[in-house]
Amino acid sequence: MGYINVSKDPEKSLKNGYLSTTLLGLGQTISVFAKQLFKLEESVTIQWPEVEYKYSERFKGAHFLTKRPDGQVRCTACFLCATNCPAQCINIVAGQSSDNGIEKYPVRFEIDILRCVFCGFCEEACPVDAIRLGPEYSMAGLPEQKWVYTKDYLLNRSEIKKQVGAKQVSKKEENTKDASVMSSLPNIHKSSGSGH
Protein backbone atom coordinates (compact mmCIF):
# COMPACT_ATOMS: atom_id res chain seq x y z
CA MET A 1 0.00 0.00 0.00
CA GLY A 2 1.42 3.47 -0.89
CA TYR A 3 1.74 6.27 1.63
CA ILE A 4 2.69 9.96 1.70
CA ASN A 5 5.43 11.09 4.02
CA VAL A 6 4.20 14.28 5.72
CA SER A 7 6.91 16.36 7.39
CA LYS A 8 6.09 17.33 10.95
CA ASP A 9 9.11 19.62 11.25
CA PRO A 10 7.50 23.05 11.97
CA GLU A 11 10.56 24.95 10.79
CA LYS A 12 10.63 23.11 7.46
CA SER A 13 6.86 23.53 7.01
CA LEU A 14 7.13 27.25 7.65
CA LYS A 15 9.85 27.66 5.07
CA ASN A 16 8.44 25.39 2.37
CA GLY A 17 4.74 25.62 2.93
CA TYR A 18 2.71 27.90 5.11
CA LEU A 19 4.69 31.13 4.99
CA SER A 20 5.68 31.10 1.33
CA THR A 21 2.23 30.11 0.06
CA THR A 22 0.49 32.59 2.38
CA LEU A 23 2.71 35.42 1.15
CA LEU A 24 2.27 34.29 -2.44
CA GLY A 25 -1.52 34.34 -2.05
CA LEU A 26 -1.44 37.69 -0.30
CA GLY A 27 0.71 39.14 -3.07
CA GLN A 28 -1.71 37.83 -5.71
CA THR A 29 -4.69 39.36 -3.86
CA ILE A 30 -2.98 42.74 -3.46
CA SER A 31 -1.92 42.77 -7.12
CA VAL A 32 -5.49 42.04 -8.37
CA PHE A 33 -6.93 44.59 -5.92
CA ALA A 34 -4.51 47.28 -7.10
CA LYS A 35 -5.10 46.55 -10.80
CA GLN A 36 -8.87 46.76 -10.40
CA LEU A 37 -8.66 49.81 -8.14
CA PHE A 38 -6.72 51.73 -10.76
CA LYS A 39 -8.86 50.29 -13.58
CA LEU A 40 -5.94 48.45 -15.18
CA GLU A 41 -7.99 45.29 -15.23
CA GLU A 42 -11.70 44.61 -15.76
CA SER A 43 -13.42 43.30 -12.62
CA VAL A 44 -15.10 39.94 -12.99
CA THR A 45 -17.43 40.63 -10.07
CA ILE A 46 -21.01 41.41 -11.10
CA GLN A 47 -22.35 44.58 -9.47
CA TRP A 48 -25.60 42.96 -8.38
CA PRO A 49 -28.38 44.16 -8.36
CA GLU A 50 -27.48 47.02 -10.73
CA VAL A 51 -26.00 44.55 -13.20
CA GLU A 52 -27.77 41.27 -13.87
CA TYR A 53 -25.97 38.14 -14.90
CA LYS A 54 -27.19 36.59 -18.14
CA TYR A 55 -27.62 32.89 -17.63
CA SER A 56 -28.04 30.33 -20.37
CA GLU A 57 -31.54 29.84 -21.81
CA ARG A 58 -31.47 26.38 -20.27
CA PHE A 59 -31.22 27.84 -16.75
CA LYS A 60 -33.75 26.25 -14.39
CA GLY A 61 -35.15 28.91 -12.08
CA ALA A 62 -38.52 29.47 -10.45
CA HIS A 63 -41.51 27.65 -11.87
CA PHE A 64 -44.56 28.68 -13.83
CA LEU A 65 -47.57 26.79 -15.12
CA THR A 66 -48.48 26.89 -18.79
CA LYS A 67 -51.96 27.32 -20.29
CA ARG A 68 -53.81 25.60 -23.10
CA PRO A 69 -54.72 27.67 -26.18
CA ASP A 70 -58.19 28.25 -24.64
CA GLY A 71 -56.52 29.92 -21.61
CA GLN A 72 -57.20 27.08 -19.18
CA VAL A 73 -54.50 25.49 -17.05
CA ARG A 74 -52.69 22.79 -19.02
CA CYS A 75 -52.11 20.64 -15.92
CA THR A 76 -54.30 17.53 -15.72
CA ALA A 77 -53.57 16.85 -12.05
CA CYS A 78 -51.89 13.53 -12.76
CA PHE A 79 -49.53 13.95 -9.76
CA LEU A 80 -46.47 12.79 -11.71
CA CYS A 81 -44.55 15.95 -10.81
CA ALA A 82 -45.44 15.67 -7.12
CA THR A 83 -44.56 11.96 -7.09
CA ASN A 84 -41.17 12.60 -8.69
CA CYS A 85 -40.32 15.65 -6.59
CA PRO A 86 -37.44 14.66 -4.28
CA ALA A 87 -38.18 17.57 -1.94
CA GLN A 88 -41.90 16.75 -1.75
CA CYS A 89 -42.74 20.40 -2.12
CA ILE A 90 -45.57 20.14 -4.67
CA ASN A 91 -49.06 19.96 -3.25
CA ILE A 92 -51.94 19.24 -5.65
CA VAL A 93 -55.66 18.88 -5.03
CA ALA A 94 -57.38 17.36 -8.05
CA GLY A 95 -60.91 18.12 -9.19
CA GLN A 96 -63.23 16.71 -11.86
CA SER A 97 -62.96 18.69 -15.09
CA SER A 98 -66.11 19.66 -16.99
CA ASP A 99 -64.19 18.80 -20.17
CA ASN A 100 -64.62 15.05 -20.75
CA GLY A 101 -61.43 14.88 -22.78
CA ILE A 102 -59.34 16.09 -19.86
CA GLU A 103 -60.91 14.32 -16.87
CA LYS A 104 -59.07 16.17 -14.07
CA TYR A 105 -57.69 19.60 -13.31
CA PRO A 106 -55.83 21.03 -10.31
CA VAL A 107 -58.20 22.77 -7.90
CA ARG A 108 -55.11 23.63 -5.93
CA PHE A 109 -51.53 23.53 -7.13
CA GLU A 110 -48.88 24.78 -4.75
CA ILE A 111 -45.09 24.73 -4.65
CA ASP A 112 -43.24 25.41 -1.42
CA ILE A 113 -40.35 27.20 -3.10
CA LEU A 114 -38.18 27.20 0.02
CA ARG A 115 -38.06 23.42 -0.03
CA CYS A 116 -37.50 23.15 -3.79
CA VAL A 117 -34.00 22.12 -4.90
CA PHE A 118 -34.54 23.19 -8.54
CA CYS A 119 -33.72 19.77 -9.88
CA GLY A 120 -36.21 20.06 -12.77
CA PHE A 121 -37.66 16.58 -12.16
CA CYS A 122 -41.20 18.02 -12.13
CA GLU A 123 -40.70 19.54 -15.59
CA GLU A 124 -39.22 16.28 -16.88
CA ALA A 125 -42.01 14.16 -15.41
CA CYS A 126 -44.92 16.22 -16.71
CA PRO A 127 -46.52 14.45 -19.69
CA VAL A 128 -48.34 17.54 -20.95
CA ASP A 129 -45.68 20.24 -20.57
CA ALA A 130 -47.75 22.01 -17.92
CA ILE A 131 -44.96 22.95 -15.54
CA ARG A 132 -41.73 24.67 -16.47
CA LEU A 133 -38.77 26.09 -14.64
CA GLY A 134 -38.30 29.63 -15.92
CA PRO A 135 -35.25 31.90 -16.11
CA GLU A 136 -35.89 33.66 -12.78
CA TYR A 137 -32.96 33.26 -10.41
CA SER A 138 -33.46 36.24 -8.12
CA MET A 139 -35.75 35.02 -5.35
CA ALA A 140 -34.41 36.75 -2.27
CA GLY A 141 -37.09 38.06 0.07
CA LEU A 142 -38.24 38.67 3.61
CA PRO A 143 -39.55 36.02 6.00
CA GLU A 144 -43.08 37.48 5.85
CA GLN A 145 -43.14 37.04 2.08
CA LYS A 146 -45.30 34.26 0.62
CA TRP A 147 -43.00 31.36 -0.13
CA VAL A 148 -45.70 28.95 -1.23
CA TYR A 149 -46.45 29.65 -4.89
CA THR A 150 -50.13 29.16 -5.60
CA LYS A 151 -51.82 28.04 -8.82
CA ASP A 152 -52.90 31.60 -9.68
CA TYR A 153 -49.43 32.95 -9.10
CA LEU A 154 -47.78 30.17 -11.12
CA LEU A 155 -50.23 30.69 -13.98
CA ASN A 156 -50.00 34.45 -14.16
CA ARG A 157 -46.39 35.35 -13.68
CA SER A 158 -46.36 38.12 -16.24
CA GLU A 159 -42.72 39.08 -15.63
CA ILE A 160 -41.50 35.52 -16.25
CA LYS A 161 -43.79 34.90 -19.20
CA LYS A 162 -42.55 38.12 -20.79
CA GLN A 163 -38.99 36.81 -20.56
CA VAL A 164 -39.95 33.39 -21.87
CA GLY A 165 -42.04 34.97 -24.67
CA ALA A 166 -42.79 32.66 -27.57
CA LYS A 167 -41.32 29.72 -25.69
CA GLN A 168 -44.59 29.73 -23.69
CA VAL A 169 -45.95 27.57 -26.53
CA SER A 170 -45.97 23.95 -25.53
CA LYS A 171 -42.87 22.09 -26.74
CA LYS A 172 -45.07 19.06 -27.19
CA GLU A 173 -47.39 20.99 -29.51
CA GLU A 174 -44.42 22.30 -31.45
CA ASN A 175 -43.14 18.76 -31.86
CA THR A 176 -46.46 17.44 -33.10
CA LYS A 177 -46.30 20.06 -35.88
CA ASP A 178 -42.75 19.08 -36.79
CA ALA A 179 -42.85 16.18 -39.26
CA SER A 180 -39.20 15.27 -38.65
CA VAL A 181 -39.81 14.87 -34.89
CA MET A 182 -43.03 12.93 -35.41
CA SER A 183 -41.47 10.53 -37.90
CA SER A 184 -38.76 9.65 -35.36
CA LEU A 185 -41.28 8.81 -32.60
CA PRO A 186 -42.60 5.33 -31.93
CA ASN A 187 -46.25 4.79 -32.90
CA ILE A 188 -47.52 4.94 -29.34
CA HIS A 189 -46.45 8.62 -29.06
CA LYS A 190 -47.77 9.56 -32.49
CA SER A 191 -51.27 8.32 -31.72
CA SER A 192 -51.43 10.17 -28.36
CA GLY A 193 -51.00 13.60 -30.02
CA SER A 194 -50.76 16.56 -27.62
CA GLY A 195 -52.86 14.83 -24.98
CA HIS A 196 -55.76 17.30 -25.26
Q: In whole angstroms, what is the distance from residue 151 CA to residue 111 CA? A: 9
119 is annotated as contributing to ligand binding: yes
> Which region holds residue 103: left if phi is over 0, alpha if psi is between -120 and 50, else beta?
left
**Candidates 70-78, 152-160, 161-169, 180-188; binding stretch for ligand SF4 (CB under 6 A):** 70-78
Q: Given the rule CB under 6 A, which of 119-127, 143-151, 154-162, 183-191 is the region that contacts ligand SF4? A: 119-127
Decide: is 62 part of the binding site for ligand SF4 (CB under 6 A): no
For residue 150, give every residue at least 6 positions away whose Cβ sits within 8 Å of its Cβ, in sequence order, or none.
108, 109, 110
Q: Which residues pair with 73 in a beta bridge?
A: 67
Phi/psi for 164 (5° steps) reads -75, -35
**Binding residue for ligand SF4, selected from 62, 64, 110, 131, defined by CB under 6 A:** 131
Give min distance, CB of 118 to ligand SF4, in A: 5
Q: Is 169 in the site for ligand SF4 (CB under 6 A)?
A: no
Residues facing 109 on adjacent strands: 92
Binding-site residue numbers are: 75, 78, 81, 85, 116, 119, 122, 126
Binding-site residue numbers for [4Fe-4S] cluster are 75, 78, 81, 85, 116, 119, 122, 126
